[in-house]
Structure 1
Amino acid sequence: MTTIPAAKCPEPRQPDLAPASAPLFRGLLAIAPGLALTACIGAAAFGLRLLPGMSVVSPMILAMLIGIALHNLVGTPARARPGIKFSVRRVLRFAIILLGLQLSAAQLIAVGGRGLGIIAASLLATFAVTSWIGRRLGVDRQLTQLIAAGSSICGASAVIATNAVTDAPDEDVAYAVACVTVFGSVAMFVYPLLPGLLALDPQSYGLWAGASIHEIAQVVAAGFQDGPQAGEFATIAKLARVAMLAPMVIALGAWAARSARRNGHDRQAARPPLPWFVLGFVALVGVNSLIAVPPQAKAWIVVVTTFLLTVALAAMGLETDLRKLAAKGIRPALLGALAFVFIASFSLALIKLTG
């Protein structure tokens, strides 16, 4: 009698995890060189601020200048480009989300209805007038929007946040950042000479500085030169102005989509871009309003947020070609100057009229 051997069941195969993890590992390896380069430039920018007289200069601006110098004098390594793009997109968006932890509803209430009205009116008027002047001067629409956003809201942070919906070239971003930096720096030194001449009390001066000077660091420097009361109110007014970044970016996205539909672009292009990072920013403002973050933790959050923004601007500098920047000519710089003069004059007039 023939014996039939028992059939052997195949042993269960162990799941192969390598294919799932390999793309992630390769992605990390790809972005590592560029991320390391932008982080080193960011650290160098922070170090430069320790030098005498450099503490008033934003590390974001220093990082962009270092990046531009490296790109145009030495060249950006090809293997660093994936990490540089990661810094411009992902790191930047995460930093803007973290900005929300520097704001709260209590700070907005402290500014008061009059102060918030002046800040909102100055912001909207400056953006509208700057956009109109840009068209008259023949400045490219994307660059005009970046200069308008940086002048009306919060300097470099507003420029790079607005670029998420305008999608302008890096040279436009660099030009806009340079404009708001130069004229904000002028304001930082000129404003402290004017409170007596303009008959501004500390609160009115602080509101004027917060409503019209571009960068937070510049507002703090200009505000505290007129005393602690003016400095504290200037800082709060400026943070209230930063809170208006979210609705402005969302409105620009919707406007861009409307323009795309009007020009007959495809349905995908006509959809308003959904700025998830702005929604995250708003969510963290809510968290900071409901939960008391310990002062020591908040101080570290400010440092980390500033460093991440610095890394993002270092990456933009590494993609900026000075020849393309120079080709844009003097008209965008004139636009930046007129935007600065307008927001300074308009906000001061409102303070005087409502005082």
Structure 2
Amino acid sequence: MRRERRPDFDAYAGDLFGEMMLADTAPAAAPPARKPLSRFVPGLAIAAIASAAAAWLSQNYGVPVILAGLLLGLALNFAAGDARTHDGLDWISRHGLRAGIVLLGCQVTAMQVAEMGLVPFAGLALVMAAAIIAAMLAARATGQSPAVGLLGGGATAICGASAALALYGVIGRERVDQAQFTLTLVILAAASAIALVTYPMLAGALKFNDAQAGFLTGAAIHDVAQAIGAGFAVSDPAGAQATVVKLTRVALLAPLVALAALWIARAQPLAARVGQPRIPVLPGFILAFLALVGVNSLVTLPPALAAHALTASKTLLLLAVTATAMRTRTDLLLDLGWRAVMPVLAATIASLTVALGFAWWAL
């Protein structure tokens, strides 16, 4: 009797045999080719050119350098349409900002914080808390996420663009898109520029003494250079007081970022990755910032070194801000509307109001 062949065996036997042969004879997977470092050059070059133009505008026309970098970056964002610029722009916007924040540690010591005194420190804490609470309430009232309020309020409470960059590192693009982040930077820079001009005049109109004027400008103006500059626009003693108050705010950057990472993970959690919960940790660049503050507190750095570190920090932050603006789609920026402005606006008004009240009644 002729034995029938099973069609299912005939259909799969060849495939199984072929797969076994391919598995035995397949060459080992080649290691991934290393990408050349030259891929960073186009993006870094265009960011450097735009940043140099922003610095020139600031030096010759008095435009705040961060605001100039933002606006030039947005104007040149068509260049990011070329994929060859992406690696360089993304690298400097991420790693440049972290290195710039770390170098700010050379400007702060624990002694400066202690020198401020308990009463002004309490007032500063009130100003910072008011800014964050006002921004969170404004975000909630306008239907925005808690992350947007935390970004605007925290940046206003500490040191403007630098704090916004640090907070964005722990908040993440999953919670706040890049268009919202860029608009936050623009509003922060504009508000700080307006404050630089108006707050010294306001202190003069209210007949504040040097301690009051220095506290007002140091506690209520976002940008470091503009806060200190506004203090010195009143008088040298007011400038010295503004410097201590403002640098104390900068020193509080690390604790704020740590608390923000813990809070946002609970208030607006992200989906777990690879079956593991997302655990917020203090970023390495904030730890490095704290370490540099500790070194600067224990060892007196040469003035020339501190000055070069400040210049390098400003340069890296300017490059990071410019690159971030270049990678932002302006159509998404325009779609955000007036609601996106409200957290920073509310935080600015709250910080000014509380700083004025505290300077008037307590100093």
Query: TM-score range with shorter-chain normalisation?
Result: 0.7 to 0.9
Cross-structure match for 2:182: 174
| Aligned with residue 276 of structure 1, among 284, 291, 294 | 284
Indicate yes or no: 2:96 matched with 1:82: no
> Contact 1:257–1:269 (CA<8 Å) still a contact in 2?
no
Determine if contact 2:216/2:356 at 8 Å carries over to the other structure: yes
Q: Does structure 2 retain, via aligned residues, the 8 Å contact 1:58–1:217?
A: no
Structure 2 residue ranges without an equivalent (≥5): 1-29
**One-letter amino acid of the counterpart of residue 78, structure 1:** A
Q: Which residue of 2 aligns with 1:7?
A: none
Calculate the aligned-residue CA RMSD, in Å.
2.2
CA offset digits 1:204-232 (Å, max 9, x no partner): 11011111111112212311111111112
Q: Which amino acid aligns with 1:63?
A: G
Deviation at 1:49, TM superposition (A): 2.1
- Change in Cα spacing, 1:340 to 1:61, as seen in structure 2 (3 Å) is same
Separation (CA, whole Å) in 1 of partners of 2:90 and 2:56: 24
Alignment coverage as a number of residue pairs: 330
Contact kept, 8 Å, 1:105 with 1:289, in 2: the verdict is: yes
Mapped pair 1:68 → 2:74? yes
How far residue 301 of structure 1 moved from its aligned partner, in angstroms, is 1.0
The residue that corresponds to 1:39 in the other structure is: 48
Give the CA deviation at 1:321. 1.4
Matched residue, 1:4 = none
Shift of 1:264: 7.2
TM-score between both structures, scaled by the size of structure 2: 0.85
Kindly provide the CA deviation profile for residues 141-200 of structure 1, in whole angstroms up to 9, marking residues without a partner as x: 333222112211111111111100111222111111111112222211111112243231
Alpha carbons of 1:128 and 1:27: their partners in 2 closer, same or farther (altered >3 Å)?
Answer: farther
Deviations 1:34-73 (A, max 9, x none): 122222222222222221x32xx3322222211110114x
Amino acid in structure 2 at the alignment position of 1:326? L
Work out which of the residue numbers 250, 264, 267 in structure 2 matches 1:242.
250
- Residue in 2 that maps onto 1:256: 264
Structure 1 unaligned blocks of 5 or more = 1-18
Matches within 5 A, 1:203-222: 203-222=211-230
Is the contact between residue 135 and residue 149 of structure 2 (CA under 8 Å) also seen in structure 1?
Answer: yes
1:27 deviates by 4.6
Distance change >3 Å, CA 259–CA 50, structure 1 → 2: closer
Contact 1:151 1:340 in 2 (8 A): yes
Report the alpha carbon displacement of residue 295 of structure 1 after superposing the two structures with TM.
Answer: 1.0
Please list the CA deviations of residues 12-43 of structure 1 after superposition, one character each: whole Å capped at 9, or x if unmatched. xxxxxxx99x73xx352222221222222222
Q: TM-score, normalised by structure 1?
A: 0.87
Q: What letter matches 2:126 in structure 1?
A: A
Q: Which amino acid aligns with 2:39?
A: A
1:92 is aligned to 97
Whole-Å separation in 1 of the counterparts to 2:278 and 2:55: 41
Deviations, residues 122-159 of structure 1 (Å, cap 9, x unaligned): 11221122102210121343332221122111111111
Q: 1:147 touches 1:159 (CA, 8 Å); kept in 2?
A: yes
Q: Which letter does structure 2 place at the counterpart of 1:40?
A: I
Note the alpha carbon deviations across 1:244-277, whole angstroms, 9 max, x for none.
Answer: 111111111111222466x874664531143111
Following the alignment from structure 1 to structure 2, what is the Cα–Cα distance between the partners of residues 144 and 292? 38
**What's 1:111 paired with?**
116
Q: 1:338 aligns with which of 314, 338, 346?
A: 346
Q: 1:86 & 1:264 partners in 2: Cα distance?
A: 26
What CA distance in whole angstroms lies between the structure 2 residues aligned with 1:241 and 1:200? 22
